Every structure is written in C-alpha cells, then in structure tokens.
Amino acid sequence: MARIRLLTYNIAHARGLSLHQTLRSRARIRAQLVNIAHLIKRLDADIVAFQEIDENSRWNGSFDHLAFLAEHTGLPHFVHGVNNRLAHFGGHLHLAYGNAVLSRYPIAHHENVPFGRRLLGEKGALFTEIETPAGLVPVMNVHMHHRSRASRLKQAAKLIEFLDHQRVHRGAQWRARPIVCGDMNNPSHTPDATAMLLGYFEEFDNYTLLPKGLAGRALHTFPSFFPSRALDYIYLPSQCCDPDVTVVRSYLSDHRPVFVEFRL
C-alpha cells in the first residue's frame, strides 16, 4: 500500500493576515508564497488543494501563483480551476482566480465546476483524477459561498449531480471513491452543505469527515490566530486507511491548513 499525504489550504490570495491583497507589494506576495512553499515541503505533501489562488491578477502582482508554488516546491503537476475572470480598461485591470491542485503525481484528468456566472466573487469546485502509486484517485477541491446557506445548499446539490455523473461514467477506473476537500464555509454540526454532502457520501461508503477531535467534533480552522470556527474539511472514503490528520498551526493565511496522511 502507498502512503499519500494531502493538504487543503485556503491561502487567501497570499495576502497573509492583511485586510486585502492590494495592500501588499509584489515582493511581499512573492515572499509569502515562498513561505507557503516551505510549509508544503516541510509537510512533504503529495497533493495540495488550494482555494483563493490567483492565476493572473492585477491586484496580486500579475503572475501565476500556482506555477510559482510548483517551482518552489518541486511538485511538477498542477492545474487551475479559475472561477473568476475579469478584464477591463484594455486588460490593465485583470483578475483570474479560484481553486487549484498541485501534485507530485500526474493529473490524468480535470474538470472545473463553477457554481455560477459571476465575474467576481464566484465560487466553484475543481475535479481531478490523480495517478498515484496506488492507482487512479479522484480528488475534488471545493470552495463554497461564505454568506448564504441557501447558496451553499444549491452548490452542494450541483456537486452531488456532478459526482453522480463522474461515478457512473468514470468510476470503474478509480482506486478509491472521491476524496473531497476544501473550504466549505460552514460547520459540520448544522443542517448546512457540509452535513448534506456527508449524508450523500455515506449512501455509498463509510466516509470519514476530517478534521475531528477525540470527542468527534470538528476541529476549528478559522481564523488562524485564534480558531473559533470549523470551515475547512476533508471527506475521506473507507479505501483510505489509517488517516492521521492535523490542523497545521500556521499564520500564513486567515485559514489554517488541514493535512492528512493515509494508506491506500
């Protein structure tokens, strides 16, 4: 069996704990990304799911943050899931950001699933199939709406419809059922999207929702300095054995990353 290490991390546009990324210089953004790369290397992550990462945004230095992280981590395979793309004034005001996956192993297939059509502030999910040493593993990276429960429930329904289609048409190739992770923007103990997704997954498999403490309650991930809310999760199927999960103490974003190592 292979040991696989997965990290999910909302990096908040590499602004750190600043109120907005426009308040940070290009040099400070690059330095922040170097620090994030050092964290990934220290954890020796094989697969990293990012939320709030820029492909090419004027407010954030106008360079590809994912390609920069790939270069500085040595993880060679990566794909963007851009949910927001905006260009005004002849391209002088340009934004392109969303989710992304960075991997030690080849990404055999990917599809982006925007939840709507807004040019700014849109959320979505990035579906990937990764060729791990244990076989083909589907990983879905999700970022849900932060204000509206009704919007999140619609987004969860869209994810379920998408995953049902993938399972029927592609599932025969998979070594495990989908690993789903990301910033759900709601706790698991309320009747919201996180619980709705868990109910769906448990119809097919004995999924584990991580991170959770000894009492079974979800561990807090936000805000990073004094975490008081559980927003970031990993749904792990039963084929992923002996999971060892950590909410990483880090102040490189307003979210703390969630890291899991498991056997497959």
pLDDT confidence tier of residue 119, bands split at 50, 70 and 90: confident
Q: For residue 18, what pLDDT is reported? A: 67
Is the pLDDT score of 195 beyond 80? yes
Query: Does residue 91 surpass a pLDDT of 70?
Result: no
22 pLDDT higher than 70: no
Does residue 229 register a pLDDT over 80?
yes
Domain ranges for the chain, please list them. 3-263
Half-sphere exposure at residue 146, Cβ-oriented, CA atoms within 13 angstroms: 12
Which pLDDT value is given to residue 216?
78
Ranges 16-30, 214-228, 232-246: which has the least confidence: 16-30
Please tell me the predicted confidence (pLDDT) of residue 190. Answer: 86
Per-residue pLDDT band for 56 (boundaries 50, 70, 90) equals confident
pLDDT band at 197; cut points 50, 70, 90: very high
> Given its phi and psi angles, is residue 14 left (phi above 0), alpha (psi -120 to 50 degrees) or beta?
left
Closest among 101, 86, 88 to 9, alpha carbons compared: 101
Q: Average pLDDT, whole number, for the chain?
A: 93
Residue 115 has pLDDT above 60, yes or no: yes
pLDDT score of 15:
86
Q: What is the largest CA-CA distance in the chain?
A: 55
Mean pLDDT calculated for residue range 28-43: 97
Q: Could you tell me what percent of the chain has a pLDDT over 70?
A: 95
Residue 173 predicted with pLDDT over 90: yes
What integer pLDDT is reported at residue 19 of this predicted model?
A: 57
pLDDT for 92 equals 57
Give residue 95's pLDDT.
87
| SS3 per residue for the chain | CCEEEEEEEECHHHCCCCCCHHHCCHHHHHHHHHHHHHHHHHHCCCEEEEEEEECCCHHHCCCCHHHHHHHHHCCCEEEEEEEEEEEEHHHCEEEEEEEEEEECCCEEEEEEEECCCCCCCCCEEEEEEEEECCEEEEEEEEECCCCCHHHHHHHHHHHHHHHHHHHHHHHHHECCCCEEEEECCCCCCCCCHHHHHHHHHHCCCCCEEECECCCCCECCCECCCCCCECCEEEEECCCCEEEEEEECCCCCCCCCCEEEEEEC
Pick the CATH number of 3-263 from 3.90.850.10, 3.60.10.10, 3.10.129.10, 3.60.21.10: 3.60.10.10
What's residue 23's pLDDT? Answer: 55
Mean pLDDT of 151-173: 97
Q: What percent of the chain has pLDDT over 90?
A: 78
